[in-house]
Amino acid sequence: MQGGTHHWLAQQRVHYGQPAAPAVLAEVERAGASRVFVMTTRSLTDGDYLAGLCAALGPRLAGKFDAIPAHSPREAVIAGAQALREARADLVVAVGGGSVIDATKVMLQCVWYGIDSVEGMATIVGGRHAGGTEPSGWTRDPQSLRMVAVPTTLSAAEFSNSGGVTDIQRGLKQRYPHPLAVPVAVALDPAATLATPLGLLLSTGMRAMDHAVERWCAARPVAFSDAMSHQAMQVLARALPAVKADPADLQARADCQIAMWLSILPQASGVPVGASHGIGYILGGAYHVPHGVTSCVMLPSVLEWNEPVNAERQRTVAAILGRPGERAGPVLREFVRNLGVPWRLRDAGIRQEDLPAIAARYDGTGPIATNPRPIRGAADLEEILALAF
């Protein structure tokens, strides 16, 4: 008999397949908020979509912060937290991709705990605070300032209670969980993705595929995870090529958003991801490779390396991609290539001479440690990296 614990997040609503502005306004009314602060990125700050959302907020718009670069550096988090304090914000709306949403999760924690320097962030990294790390521990540390998220990519950061922030000096991505860091509500508006460059959108869609595939192929799957992961893979296998074929297809974009949502739900069941995610954290933190791209280049090779321990599970992945009976790794690599996104490490700016240094960064923790085929050290990682090069 299989046993375990499923953790429900402190996320009250997900609005999907509809414009974000009315959904956000409904959340403002529910919260009784009068000073709403918008977090975004410079690529979106002057666009029509964000302008419309800000206009809908009217006099309740208390300010906007757009200096959030890729990989959410700690310095941007501290600056954003200070902007929230100065604005006396009572609700935050994050509009953007994973970097914006993750940074906002940690900004909230900095506001809650009075942290105003990157050095001070060491006191809360890894859940070193009253909230702890348990995703379902909603009542451990009540907080009134919360976030509503409007994602513009398919990274699924809005469905997690943990934010990834980068220590630039050390090239290290660090996790900052808190049960109330997860957005209280999410608005999945397919129109919000139209301003996202197509390559970026499709690569983050492969990040969602990575969530689903690695949990489907995990060493200890559970029924809830299998159901969500299987459906996510099926929808992404159809919808991502549809977006590539017709970028104006809002239905295909909406399908991708639903699949992305499904892909991340299994994390609440405690089913771990593996080396594709773990190597991605290294490539992102130290080599500035976007996390969507890390999934594009690493997932097929990790599948190939893991074949000795989960070949049967991988057969389902290949079948979902329309190639029953074939090896999942090469099939998925071809799927990525057909999307027109980077599919090899060399395409992501990584040199062959970098591979040993990348492998040497593994410290024995994180998703690499939960890979279905045990990774015993740098030599094993170099094998996987060589397959991806």
Delineate the domains of the chain, giving CATH numbers in brackets: 13-192 (3.40.50.1970), 198-388 (1.20.1090.10)
CA distances from 377 to 309, 368, 369, 381 (A): 18, 10, 10, 7
DSSP summary character for residue 73: B
User: Is the confidence at residue 111, as pLDDT, over 80?
Assistant: yes
pLDDT digits (tens, 9 = 90+) for 257-310: 999 999 999 999 999 999 999 999 999 888 989 989 999 999 999 999 999 999
Q: Which of 15-33 are b and which e, b meaning 16 or more Cβ less than 10 Å from the residue's Cβ?
A: beeebbbebbbebbeebeb
In a 3-state reduction of DSSP, which class is residue 214? helix
Q: Could you tell me if 355 and 385 are in contact, meaning their C-beta atoms sit under 8 angstroms apart?
A: yes
Residue with tokens 């451990």: 140
In the chain, what is the greatest distance between 2 CA atoms, to the nearest angstrom?
A: 60
Percent of the chain with pLDDT over 90: 93
Q: Could you tell me if 355 and 286 are in contact, meaning their C-beta atoms sit under 8 angstroms apart?
A: no
Q: Could you tell me if 349 and 289 are in contact, meaning their C-beta atoms sit under 8 angstroms apart?
A: yes
What is the pTM for the complete model shown?
0.95
pLDDT-based confidence at residue 241 (cuts at 50, 70, 90): very high
User: Is the confidence at residue 163, as pLDDT, over 80?
Assistant: yes
pLDDT digits (tens, 9 = 90+) for 143-157: 999 999 999 999 999
The burial class, CB within 10 Å (0-12 / 13-18 / 19+), for 178 is: buried
| Six-digit token string for 9 | 């997040």
pLDDT digits (tens, 9 = 90+) for 184-207: 999 999 999 999 999 999 999 999
Instruction: Please tell me the distance from the alpha carbon of residue 93 to that of residue 28, in angstroms, as a whole number.
Output: 9
Residue 346 sits at the vertex; the CA angle it makes with 344 and 350, to the nearest 5 degrees, is 120
Which ranges of the chain does DSSP label H, i.e. alpha helix?
A: 20-31, 48-57, 74-87, 98-112, 198-216, 223-245, 250-264, 275-287, 291-320, 328-339, 355-360, 378-388
